[in-house]
Chains A and B, each alone.
Chain A
């Protein structure tokens, strides 16, 4: 039989081994030769601190009492890990980008770096985790007692062993957990030691399981038959508890400070999650694989009344397998120690950052920039916190008497820590979550949990039997385990249901009706959208901070060398060597992150705030950040519009340029033509006048013929000059219009008779006289001139074998429209834009006029308030004349 003394020696040797491993790992990490220290395997194994002594020993006891229900404790975390892409990835990313030091820090950081919230979470964590630490101490002493009961044990007392265990663990945690101030730095020593412990406890449990299945039974099938035949051989699970505990375990897995420490704070590489997502559930599966066989076989073999919680130890002992029992003891010891060490580390960081530091800072007044090293203060406070937490756990163990009351504390602690869940999830996924909402939800959940679960669970000393049965002061509907008169619910389901429901409800309602501060909104955006902008907008605005003050403060927290290095690096970045860097917002941001790794976000923010003065960010700044992007969008759309406009303008310019070039060509051509036209009559005038002057003996008939030629040519010149003059008068606006009333039909008749007198070939007319009876107030002579021109053009240019001219008159609400449409081939498309230009002629072959007619027409119509234009698509040459309508004018 193994003596207790031997066992103590074995445990001491084991602890010494852990020290050596932790020390070596720290040294390796310091020299940077430790790639495997940062491997996903170590990360996965470090997560195993989820499996405490409560689960190592207690799972078998749990299975012996409630069958398969124990497995829910592992199923919850399995679901969380399997769904890592949803939640844990975001959590880890935020933890790394914000340099979060603990779950309290995360919550406080999300809700505007609120010190009050951080303190609340810290208190909640301490209250719910301390009993849990006591539970670990109890399990270690219990396991000692099993050995002492089975062998000679002269000087064993549970109390003293618990004390020594607690002290030893405190020393270990202080030595390796507070080596570096920056809580955000990896504690390679501790993590490696914990990984080793994870292997030990897995091997131990598997060894006992294999011994039970293949040593005490004849393989798997025989064991299964034994299980079915045992007390727990049938499925007997309370459905409410099954679902509730699965959920609770999932919630606690994320919220427990020690889990947060190893999962988020100590995370070295986000990609490790990918491996842990399947490896850690596998670890859990292996841990629980043999639990039911051990429980069933234990129930069968062990004498009535033996504690099923310790079957893992007592079963091998009863079979005389001392070595296996010792291994199993080491497994339980590992589970307890690793949990206690990490929990103490995590809690001490929270306590020192969120309770001690704020008090210390405010007691020193506004002296964040005083000289002196703060690092020692923080380190000492952290070490003291570890000692205090261990002491609390020890006293709790002593007070509770180490009885069965402690056994149920595991789930109660889970329920307590799960109160953080609404604020955490809301903070990660909902930008509308506010600080006040989180505070209210947390308080309500905390109070309900205390009242319905923790106090009743701690025995009659804290909550009298009468209160439990009849409610406080006899108020029945306030009975702690049957709130609002709803009885018959399992206590843990009752607690979880009421506390978490009301917690989440309060959180949502208060968040909805309250308005977050600027910093809260800033942080909210950074948390919820962490994948979109890990850099994030600036929290500090143009500041009045003094670089020297900042330097002094940083030295006190980071240490002189580190602070110097950081400031020099920043100065180099800013391009100012050998000087202190300017306190730009970016620099302040970085400095705050750096400091928050040591003292937590809230404290770091407060310290920088003391120096910078005033609030760091205002609503206006937030809006400015938002506006910036909105302005960019607006600006780019404006640019787009402008560029469209430019494209259009360029197109117009091109068109105009084409036209100008064309006009210029025409002008050149016309100048040639005009000089030609002027010269032809001039030449004949000169020639015939010379003949008249120089030739003697002309008879009278000849003289008359020559004079007539001279006269005709002179008339032609005059006509040409008249047209030019007419046009220039019209264009210069000096024309005087002779406005009078008349009828359109009369004007048309007059124009037709003037234009078609003696026309060859005759032009067939198509008119609707009924439509033409339109009263007009206009310069009728000028109008007739336009009509004559158009009709003469039709007559001149219509190339159909039987030329026809249609004249349509119709009226709309503002204009009278007269269309002249012939049945010829019309004007070529490329010439249409030019016909109204001066000197334009449809073709060189029918050079009848000087090309001024249509230009004159257009000028006249513009003067008369109307227009004339070419009509496309009428099957022939078509011109449309529009005239302003004149209502109420009677024909005079």
Chain B
């Protein structure tokens, strides 16, 4: 009998890496996904202003340029939303302390 003798019946999934997770760990992974997507989403939203009609110095540009107040409102709103998102994730992550190490992203 050689060590290379691998039959379909003898292959087992490695015990350290379960294929499916319990509900709690699953939620945690998806939350991590959200946390990873947050900066991308923020970057996208902050690129939106580039689509606005701008002024090229003249007063009567067509179409009318975005007023500064509107631009400020948008930018600061997105900014605040990002902070809120990071805050919520931080609160959620706080509850993981002292939990098992399965939440380590290096393992998923």
Residues of A within 8 A of B (CB): 67-68, 71, 75, 78-86, 224-225, 227-228, 230, 232-237, 239, 242-243, 246, 271, 274-275, 277-278, 281-282, 285, 289, 292, 296, 529-532, 634, 637-638, 640-642, 644-645
Contact = CB atoms under 8 A, between A and B. Distances in A.
Given A243-B47, A281-B86, 16 more contacts: A68-B68, A78-B83, A79-B42, A79-B82, A82-B83, A85-B35, A86-B39, A235-B52, A235-B53, A235-B55, A242-B47, A246-B43, A246-B46, A277-B90, A641-B3, A642-B1
Contacts of B94: 274
Contact of A278 (B36, B49, B87): B87
B93 to A, nearest CB: 6
A91 to B, nearest CB: 14
A85 B3 contact: no
Nearest to A648: B1
B80 interface: yes
A235 B49 contact: yes
A85 B105 CA distance: 9
Contacts of B61: 234
A278 B86 contact: yes
B3 A82 contact: no
Given A78-B79, A281-B86, A289-B76, A228 B55 contact: no
Contacts of B100: none
A82 B93 CA distance: 13
Contacts of B49: 68, 235, 237, 242
Contact of A232 (B32, B56, B68): B68
B65 A236 contact: yes
Nearest to B52: A235
Contacts of B68: 67-68, 227-228, 230, 232-235, 292, 296
B85 to A, nearest CB: 7
24 contacts: A68-B68, A68-B71, A68-B75, A75-B79, A78-B82, A82-B39, A83-B39, A85-B35, A225-B69, A227-B69, A227-B72, A230-B68, A232-B68, A234-B61, A235-B70, A236-B54, A274-B90, A275-B90, A281-B79, A281-B83, A285-B76, A292-B68, A637-B3, A641-B10
A277 B69 contact: no
A68 B36 CA distance: 27
A88 to B, nearest CB: 11
A281 B87 CA distance: 10
B92 to A, nearest CB: 10
A82 B38 contact: yes
B66 interface: yes
B8 interface: no
A531 B105 contact: yes
A637 to B, nearest CB: 6
A531 B108 CA distance: 12
B60 to A, nearest CB: 11
B50 interface: yes
Contact of A641 (B1, B38, B67): B1
B65 A234 contact: yes
Contacts of A86: 36, 39
Contacts of B86: 81-82, 84, 277-278, 281
Nearest 6 interchain pairs by C-beta: A83-B39, A531-B106, A235-B66, A278-B87, A234-B65, A278-B86
Contacts of A83: 35-36, 38-40
B18 interface: no
A79 B43 contact: yes
Interface in B1-32: 1-3, 5-6, 10, 32
A interface SS class:
helix
Nearest to A529: B106
A82 B42 contact: yes
B99 interface: no
A638 B72 contact: no
A292 B72 CA distance: 9
Contacts of B53: 235
B2 to A, nearest CB: 8
Contacts of B35: 83, 85
Contacts of B90: 274-275, 277-278
Residue from A82, A83, A232, A529 having most chain B Cβ neighbours under 10 A: A82
A235 B65 contact: yes
B50 A236 contact: no
Contacts of B69: 224-225, 227-228
B46 A75 contact: yes
Nearest to A296: B68
A80 B39 contact: yes
Contacts of B66: 234-235
Contacts of A289: 76
Contact of A71 (B36, B50, B75, B82): B75
Given A236-B65, A243-B47, A274 B93 contact: yes
A243 B69 CA distance: 21
Given A82-B82, A242-B49, A637-B3, A234 B67 contact: yes
A243 B50 CA distance: 9
A84 to B, nearest CB: 8
B50 to A, nearest CB: 4
Contacts of B75: 68, 71, 75
Residue from B38, B85, B86, B106 having most chain A Cβ neighbours under 10 A: B86
A285 B80 contact: yes
A732 to B, nearest CB: 35
Residue from A83, A227, A243, A275 having most chain B Cβ neighbours under 10 A: A83
B106 A638 contact: no
A642 B2 CA distance: 9
Contacts of B79: 75, 78, 281, 285
A577 to B, nearest CB: 35
Given A83-B39, A274-B90, A645 B83 contact: no
Nearest to B12: A640
Contacts of B56: 236
Contacts of A277: 86, 89-90
A232 B84 CA distance: 29
B83 A285 contact: yes
Contacts of B55: 234-236
Nearest to B36: A86
Nearest to B50: A239
A493 B14 CA distance: 50
A232 B35 CA distance: 35
Nearest to A239: B50
A242 B57 CA distance: 18
A231 to B, nearest CB: 10
A274 B1 CA distance: 54
A274 B87 CA distance: 8
A631 to B, nearest CB: 11
A474 B6 CA distance: 71
Contacts of A640: 10
Contacts of A239: 50
Contacts of A68: 49, 68, 71-72, 75
A506 B59 CA distance: 46
Contacts of B54: 234-237
Contacts of B42: 78-79, 82
A640 B89 CA distance: 44
Nearest to A277: B86
Contacts of B107: 531-532
Nearest to A289: B76
